[in-house]
Structure 1
Amino acid sequence: MQLTFDADVEEFRRKFVEFLDEHMPAPGDVTERSKSSAHVPDWARRWQRLMFEHGWLLPGNPPEFGGRNATVLQQYVHLEELSKRRIYHSFNPQGLGIIAASILSFGTDEQKQRWAVPILRAEITAALGMSEPGAGSDLAGLRTRAVRAGAEYVVDGQKVWTSGAHDADVLLTFVRTDPTAPKHRGISVLLIPTDTPGVTRRPFPSVCSPDDLDFNEVYFEGARVPVANRIGPENGGWQVANGSLGHERTLLWLSFADRLEDLLGDFRPRTELDRDAYARLVMDSYALRMLGSGALAAAARGEQDTAALSILKVLGSEASQAASERALDAVGIEGLTHPAVTAPPPPLNIEHFSASWFERYLRSFAGTIAGGTSEIQRNIIAQRVLGLPRS
């Protein structure tokens, strides 16, 4: 077992730290905050573009797409250094980590230049149109239809929970193009500009943040989309979907580990019961780091273990939720209003650290849903780790 990184990885880290030390925006230059997950303030656009041009945006990408062909371990230390400073490299996370990544994986060269590069350079922002009122976790149940009409598709249907859609320039939208095929096989993926006639976006608040609008209902009524905007083959959307969520899950456990450690650092137990719960959460934190390190080592060897990522997703999201709940219980009624953290948020961090403990607890539920629900992850673990039958 090796608990340290090789010299090439540490040299990669050193160069990135030098870049951050030299180019980090000054606090006075970053006062405007993001209004949604697809709203990127001007200063944040400049910061993202600078990281792209220096190859530090997504270092695993080739240089023409904002990277430097970094190894898995080098990508890990890149995220580790961002985490230490609580820095987000983009205020449009789904655009960067899912949508641009999907276009690079499944799109044509023309699509990469037309759509992926502007998203990566923060010239445009993107939102993900997957969930529908009757198809949340079950993507294969989607009903939004796209009917081929010559060189266009005519799209009709509805999406919901579409984060940032009202501020986004384009939607990566999953649609049904063959209603007669088995439901997994009749899906296609379209890039739909949000100014397309027939597209209506209606933002709505959540119980976690009633004053912040991020979620959207999106309606498509006869929206005409060029066939050239299709990502991947017609009826090949299921493969794109799996690739999209794969991009989101690869190092997702690291964000949960950071969040859990933040919670443990901000909360101090008051009673014997609190101390017992706190000790369990500390053990969860160490377990998550150790299991994550094992998955990281496997990825560095070129091994792909989807089941291991599912285990990390369940452990990380549910441990974070448990930590938030224990902290709220300990604080008591004061947790409804008092900030969980009194220090101001770091300038490059999208999170609102002035939220009350109650708001922080409510937001923890998103972790068990986004990137694949805990229920779906348990199905994967049951089948691929325990060998249980699908039925």
Structure 2
Amino acid sequence: MKLSFDTEVEEFRAEFAAFLDANLPTEAEAAERSRSTAHLPEWARRWQRLQFDEGWLLPGNPPEFGGRNAGVIQQFVHREELSRRRICHSFNPQGVGIIAASLLSFGTEEQKHRWAVPILRAELTAALGMSEPGAGSDLASLRTRAELDGDHFTVNGQKVWTSGAHDADVLLTFVRTDPDAPKHKGISVLIVPTDTPGVTRRPFASYTGPDHKDFNEVFFENVRVPAENLVGPLNQGWRVANGSLGHERTLMWLGEAERLEAAVRDFRPTNALDKDWYATLVMDLQALRLLGSAALARAARGEQDVPALSVLKVFGSEAAQQALEHVLDAAGADGLDHPAPTAPYHHMAFDDDSASWFHRYARSFGGTIAGGTSEIQRTIIAERVLGLPRR
């Protein structure tokens, strides 16, 4: 089967490709790297702002929010072209893809222009304050409290794994505003500027080494947040959470397809056992693209299919992880080698081509966690696809 698009869609793709050819920063311009997912070097701010101004940042948005009212299929080929060329359209992915998108879906007009537009234009960066100690996959168990006192909320509690928080200007923060309500019902969402008194951000290192710090602990001690910073209705934060992760999940499978394609491209089997699982890898890649294309067609018809996205999320992330595990095993000691990152920035959208197989494999675990863990996705599939009882 060969998938193709109509002339109008391919003309859209060609226009975007021409924009990229004419405007991509050079390797010399992009020499300064981002130090976290909320840090934007000046060249990266200029690059993101240019995309916003030309309608290529999020083409499905209206022009005033960095788009051109593109349809679902056009949005797909936009993302596909970025994936194919391995281009980062923003070095603050959660700010653009989740936080600004959530503000545009649930925020007031004032919030859209005060917060979302500056995030999209790279004038501000944002981090997502969801996970807590004891409330990671089970977001509804969060315990950070926000008490309404006149025209302000007073926030107390802790977040963890907050990517880029130490470099972010604002946090989209999920808080409990009604401790007596069922746990899914008493949650609200606040925009919290990180320079607010009482906010403490503590970055910590990951396996990538002490010099690379993206994760943070964030502490809130009697933090006063204006009530006008409430995003969506009071105590209706669960709707915002589902919408936030929905923005992240819609085309997430493309990133996993890119990882599978990289494994197909960069590894060549040398014995019968390797050839057997390599064939499975190729079939998994084709299956993922076909399932993704079917989901895309339903979305283009206006159908919402959350269970299908869960199937894609589980299958894509786990297939990529299994493939990279096999590659690492077959590569042996050579798979542990860590070459210096020499690829130009536009080859670093999903994985650094120059990274070791171990590095790629270790990073694959993020795919089975971010945007909803495999365990949570299996629960959705069990209940909403297979119709199994909750117990």
TM-score by length of 1: 0.97
Cα distance in 1 for residues equivalent to 2:306 and 2:374: 14
After superposition, what is the alpha-carbon deviation per residue over 1:269-293, rounded to whole angstroms, capped at 9, x for unaligned? 1222111111111110000000000
Cα distance in 1 for residues equivalent to 2:126 and 2:345: 24
- Give the partner amino acid of 1:108: T
Cα distance in 2 for residues equivalent to 1:338 and 1:36: 20
The corresponding residue for 1:12 is 12
After superposition, what is the alpha-carbon deviation per residue over 1:248-272, rounded to whole angstroms, capped at 9, x for unaligned? 0011111111111012211121222
- Give the partner amino acid of 1:182: P
Cα distance in 2 for residues equivalent to 1:325 and 1:291: 23
Q: By how many angstroms is 1:345 displaced? A: 4.0
Give 3-state SS (helix, strand or coil) of 2:376's partner. Answer: helix
- Give the partner amino acid of 2:261: E
Q: By how many angstroms is 1:349 displaced? A: 2.8
Q: By how many angstroms is 1:353 displaced? A: 3.5
The corresponding residue for 1:223 is 223
The corresponding residue for 1:44 is 44
After superposition, what is the alpha-carbon deviation per residue over 1:115-153, rounded to whole angstroms, capped at 9, x for unaligned? 000000000000000000010000000000001111000
Unaligned runs of 5+ in 2: none
Give 3-state SS (helix, strand or coil) of 2:288's partner. Answer: helix
Residues 163, 292 of structure 1: CA spacing in aligned structure 2 closer, same or farther, 3 A cutoff? same
Cα distance in 2 for residues equivalent to 1:267 and 1:160: 36
1:153 matched to 2:148? The reply is no
1:81 matched to 2:81? The reply is yes
Contact kept in structure 1, 2:27 and 2:344, CA below 8 Å: no
- Give the partner amino acid of 1:5: F
List, as ranges, runs of 4+ consecutive aligned residues in structure 1 with deviation greater than 4 Å. none
Contact kept in structure 2, 1:130 and 1:173, CA below 8 Å: yes
The corresponding residue for 1:118 is 118
Contact kept in structure 2, 1:208 and 1:362, CA below 8 Å: no
The corresponding residue for 1:178 is 178
Q: Summarize the alignment of residues 1-391 of structure 1 with structure 2, pairs less than 5 Å apart.
A: 3-339=3-339, 344-347=343-346, 349-350=348-349, 351-391=351-391
Cα distance in 2 for residues equivalent to 1:203 and 1:270: 43
Cα RMSD (Å) of the superposition? 1.5
Cα distance in 1 for residues equivalent to 2:8 and 2:360: 39
Q: By how many angstroms is 1:335 displaced? A: 1.6
Q: By how many angstroms is 1:213 displaced? A: 0.3
Contact kept in structure 2, 1:208 and 1:363, CA below 8 Å: no
Contact kept in structure 2, 1:176 and 1:186, CA below 8 Å: yes
Give 3-state SS (helix, strand or coil) of 1:370's partner. Answer: coil
Residues 65, 348 of structure 1: CA spacing in aligned structure 2 closer, same or farther, 3 A cutoff? farther
Contact kept in structure 2, 1:209 and 1:359, CA below 8 Å: no
- Give the partner amino acid of 1:132: E
Contact kept in structure 1, 2:347 and 2:353, CA below 8 Å: no
Cα distance in 2 for residues equivalent to 1:318 and 1:368: 7
Give 3-state SS (helix, strand or coil) of 2:279's partner. Answer: helix
Q: By how many angstroms is 1:338 displaced? A: 4.2
Cα distance in 2 for residues equivalent to 1:276 and 1:37: 38
Give 3-state SS (helix, strand or coil) of 2:225's partner. Answer: strand
Residues 219, 312 of structure 1: CA spacing in aligned structure 2 closer, same or farther, 3 A cutoff? same
- Give the partner amino acid of 2:383: Q
- Give the partner amino acid of 2:220: F
Q: Percent identity?
A: 71
Corresponding pairs, count? 390
Q: By how many angstroms is 1:348 displaced? A: 6.2
